[in-house]
Amino acid sequence: MKKNLMLCMALLASIALYAQQVTLTPEQIKGHTPEWKGERFPDGRPKVPDQLLERLKKIRLEEAWGVLRNRGYHNQFEGDWMVLHEQEVMTGRVVTAQYMPLRPDYDKIVKDIGKTEKRVGSPNSWPIDVLKEGDIYVADSYGKIVDGTLIGDNLGNAIYTHSKRGVIFYGSVRDVEGLEEIKGFNAWMKGYDPSYIQQMMLAGINVPVRIGRATVLPGDAVLAKKGGVVFIPAHLLEDVVLNAEFITLRDLFGHQRLREGKYTPGQIDMQWTDEIKKDFLKWLDENPGKLPMSRQELDKFMKDRTW
């Protein structure tokens, strides 16, 4: 009986602590992402380098997905999107928002907390105030389309002004024609509807969210293309980029040598012999312009791995 009472008190204390904030504290976000050892934003989110996000644009979805699967991260991809500009690629750092069906008592708590935190406007605008340049607003609105439109063109303009990016919504938007007119803005969403947001509430900002079959944390890196979206844990971004870039170099070399008839497909597809490895290193010296990374990065990568 005493043990149950203590457990109940601990649970109530944790609920009370969480109820005092709309977003996770920097310490809590750091606690959720302990494997990231680099720079962080003041809010605690990992700040992956801009250079890696730029290089990420050239990585294929399958390559990024494959590296993550090999590292044990099987639930980082979601497909089947409506994309505003599907020929464009978007990369950036995640800011999350969690939405739920409206429950008046909890909605009142969140709005009251928002007042104490000096938040202005409707709750669906609050995540926008968090955005920094390079951020992507990622929201779980549980796939709601009708009356689930998180933004229209007004909020879309505000999002782009803050982030110079766009959004990924497991839900819907309105004013698609207006959103299309925002130069540089893009959106991955589950649908469009002309209705206004109703019977929904904001439950948290920069909390872990589920986007379809993917688990997403604040500070994750995003690779969004017309085929889908990969959410990359911050501490694995460099690994994903370098592995994918190395695969591209191997393929360029292998395709060239196959066209030349120097090796058979079996020799290229299997573990390379020392002779092929030496030929590859010579090819790298002769083609420095093909390297997407520095030679120092490449040499370290090859030294640390079996290739």
Residue 3 included in any domain: no
CB 192 within 8 A of CB 172: yes
Judge if 266 and 201 occupy the same domain: no
Judge if 222 and 245 occupy the same domain: no
CATH code for the domain of 184 = 3.50.30.40
Task: Name which of 114, 189, 195 is nearest 148 in CA terms.
Answer: 195
The predicted-structure confidence for 61-83, as pLDDT tens digits, reads as follows: 999 999 999 999 999 999 999 99
Per the model's pLDDT, the better-predicted residue between 2 and 93 turns out to be 93
Judge if 189 and 294 occupy the same domain: no
The predicted-structure confidence for 133-155, as pLDDT tens digits, reads as follows: 999 999 999 999 999 999 999 99
**What is the Cα–Cα distance from 139 to 266, expressed in whole angstroms?**
46
Average pLDDT in the chain: 93
**What is the Cα–Cα distance from 183 to 179, expressed in whole angstroms?**
9
Judge if 258 and 113 occupy the same domain: no
Residue 7 included in any domain: no
**What is the Cα–Cα distance from 230 to 132, expressed in whole angstroms?**
21
The predicted-structure confidence for 250-286, as pLDDT tens digits, reads as follows: 999 999 999 999 999 999 999 999 999 999 999 999 9
Judge if 133 and 266 occupy the same domain: no
At residue 21 the predicted structure's pLDDT band, cuts being 50, 70 and 90, is: confident
Assess whether pLDDT exceeds 60 at residue 6.
no
The predicted-structure confidence for 202-228, as pLDDT tens digits, reads as follows: 999 999 999 999 999 999 999 999 999
Judge if 296 and 225 occupy the same domain: no
159: containing domain: 28-47+79-232
Assess whether pLDDT exceeds 70 at residue 5.
no
- Pairing between strand 77-78 and 228-232? antiparallel
Element containing residue 30 per DSSP (H, E): helix 26-32
Judge if 276 and 162 occupy the same domain: no
Residue 6 included in any domain: no
Residue 234 main-chain phi, psi, to 5 deg: -55, -40
**What is the total count of domains within the chain?**
2
The residue-averaged pLDDT of 159-175 equals: 98
Which of 211, 232, 253 terminates a domain? The answer is 232
Which of 178, 199, 232 terminates a domain? The answer is 232
Judge if 255 and 286 occupy the same domain: yes
Residue 20 main-chain phi, psi, to 5 deg: -90, 5
Point out the least confidently predicted range of 12-16, 18-22, 96-100: 12-16
Residue 212 included in any domain: yes
pTM of the model: 0.88
Judge if 163 and 283 occupy the same domain: no
**What is the Cα–Cα distance from 1 to 33, expressed in whole angstroms?**
36
Residue 73 included in any domain: no
The residue-averaged pLDDT of 227-234 equals: 98
Task: Name which of 213, 162, 208 is nearest 185 in CA terms.
Answer: 162
Task: Name which of 156, 161, 184, 217 is nearest 30 in CA terms.
Answer: 217
Judge if 157 and 203 occupy the same domain: yes
Classified as helix, coil or strand, 258 is helix
Residue 123 included in any domain: yes
Point out the least confidently predicted range of 10-14, 78-82, 274-278, 298-302: 10-14
Residue 191 included in any domain: yes
Which of 232, 258, 288 terminates a domain? The answer is 232
Judge if 110 and 226 occupy the same domain: yes
Residue 203 included in any domain: yes
pLDDT at 2: 55
Judge if 98 and 114 occupy the same domain: yes
**What is the Cα–Cα distance from 156 to 151, expressed in whole angstroms?**
6
**What is the Cα–Cα distance from 146 to 254, expressed in whole angstroms?**
50
